[in-house]
């Protein structure tokens, strides 16, 4: 799954049910999302964070088993940390998010590396978008908060860590807690692309399309190379009746898109706007 497609899934999946998510996402994203959801139904999570019975690619499983053997034979702290991170990366590649988070967390605790702690929390956070069962969502949200709260306030990744924590509350029993936290973070970090983008998604999902336009325009100003921003900006502009501006945004996104299915989604939007 490409970075572009994964990012398109994230955010809206936190804010909305699968039905609304599928309505808005490009076809390639929908297909991948449904496949991951089916796999998650077959997954059981143990106390160690290990996923069971997930249908990973044989080559990926072989690599994972080799890394585990190397880890059991490793002696030095640095070597163990490296192997733990590599295991996390291998599980992440296979969309086994709780296992990835668990191994990154072990690496972070062993090395006291805040970047690895963030990587762990982010793996748990990404898994929320692919969890098919409420119990799995709750587990991943709790682990996201538990891990990311460990980042010190002054850490360069602290703002994004807190934003991810806020997002776990948005689709919980206390949604306003997450929304208010995210808005507060935006006020303190106005140039943080992730936070601005997520607020845009929240506005888009809640039907506040004028606000969505403003936030996606800001996100595009911060990082004009983000394909996802142009996709949602174009759709937000379309919803507000600004057809020509929507067409321009979609064309900019198409020029940046690399995945064929993502290109097809932009082209479909452009065709709609050109009528």
**Domain contains 204:** no
Confidence of residue 158 (pLDDT cuts 50, 70, 90): very high
Number of structural domains (the chain) is: 1
**Domain contains 200:** no
Give the domain range for residue 179. Answer: 42-189
**Domain contains 218:** no
For the stretch 111-118, contacts whose Cβ atoms lie closer than 8 Å and that sit 24 or more positions apart, written own/partner, are: 111/77, 111/78, 111/81, 113/81, 114/151, 114/152, 114/155, 114/157, 115/157, 116/81, 116/85, 117/147, 117/148, 117/150, 117/151, 118/148, 118/151, 118/155, 118/157, 118/160, 118/161
Supply the CATH number for residue 185's domain.
1.25.40.10
Residue 45 pLDDT exceeds 70: no
**Domain contains 198:** no
Residue 156 pLDDT exceeds 90: yes
**Domain contains 119:** yes
Provide CB contacts within 8 A for 218, sequence distance 6+: 196, 200
**Domain contains 6:** no
Residue 171: predicted pLDDT = 79
Query: Residue range 7-13: average pLDDT?
Result: 44
Query: Residue range 59-81: average pLDDT?
Result: 94
Helix (H/G/I), strand (E/B), else coil: 33:
helix
Q: 90-135: per-residue pLDDT in tens? A: 999 999 999 999 999 999 999 999 999 999 999 999 999 999 899 9
**Domain contains 177:** yes
More confident position, 184 or 52:
184
**Domain contains 72:** yes
Q: Cβ of 113: how many Cβ atoms within 10 Å?
A: 15
Q: Which two tokens stand for residue 134?
A: 């409420």
Q: 190-208: per-residue pLDDT in tens? A: 999 999 999 999 999 999 9
Q: 202-249: per-residue pLDDT in tens? A: 999 999 999 999 999 999 999 999 999 999 999 999 999 999 999 999
* Least reliable range by pLDDT among 29-33, 142-146, 223-227, 259-263: 29-33
Beta bridge partners, 51, equal: 45
- What is the rounded CA–CA span in Å between residue 123 and residue 91? 10
């Amino acid at each position: 799954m490409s970075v572009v497609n994964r990012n398109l899934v994230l955010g809206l999946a936190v804010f909305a049910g699968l039905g609304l998510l599928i309505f808005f996402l490009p076809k390639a994203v929908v297909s991948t999302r449904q496949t991951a959801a089916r796999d998650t139904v077959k997954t059981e999570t143990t106390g160690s964070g290990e996923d069971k019975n997930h249908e990973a690619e044989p080559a990926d499983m072989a690599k994972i088993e080799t890394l585990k053997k190397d880890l059991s034979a490793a002696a030095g702290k640095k070597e163990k940390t490296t192997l733990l991170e590599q295991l996390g990366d291998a599980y992440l590649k296979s969309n086994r998010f709780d296992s990835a988070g668990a191994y990154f967390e072990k690496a972070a605790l062993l090395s006291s590396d805040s970047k690895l702690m963030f990587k762990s929390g982010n793996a748990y956070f990404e898994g929320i978008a692919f969890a098919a069962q409420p119990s799995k969502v709750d587990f991943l949200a709790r682990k996201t908060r538990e891990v990311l709260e460990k980042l010190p306030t002054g850490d360069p990744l602290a703002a994004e860590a807190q934003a991810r924590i806020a997002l776990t509350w948005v689709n919980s029993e206390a949604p306003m807690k997450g929304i208010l936290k995210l808005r507060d973070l935006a006020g303190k970090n106005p140039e943080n692309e992730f936070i601005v983008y997520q607020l845009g998604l929240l506005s888009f999902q809640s039907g506040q399309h004028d606000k969505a336009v403003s936030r996606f325009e800001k996100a595009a100003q911060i990082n004009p190379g983000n394909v996802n921003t142009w996709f949602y900006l174009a759709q937000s502009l379309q919803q507000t009746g600004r057809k020509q501006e929507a067409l321009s945004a979609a064309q900019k996104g198409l020029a940046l898109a690399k995945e064929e299915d993502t290109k097809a989604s932009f082209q479909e939007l452009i065709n709609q706007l050109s009528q």
